[in-house]
Amino acid sequence: MSSQDPSGVGELQALLGPGAQFEGTLVFQGRIRIEGRFKGEIRSDDVLIVGDAAEIDADIDVGALIVRGGSLRGAVRARQLVEIYAPASVRGDIEAPQVFLEKGAHFEGQCRMAGGEPPSTQSEVCANVPTTSPSPVST
Q: What pLDDT, in 10s, does the model give residues 21-34?
A: 999 999 999 999 99
CA distance 70 to 37: 10
Q: What pLDDT, in 10s, does the model give residues 41-78?
A: 999 999 999 999 999 999 999 999 999 999 999 999 99
What pTM was estimated for this model as a whole?
Answer: 0.77
Q: Is the Cα torsion angle 3, 14, 107, 60 positive or negative in sign? A: negative
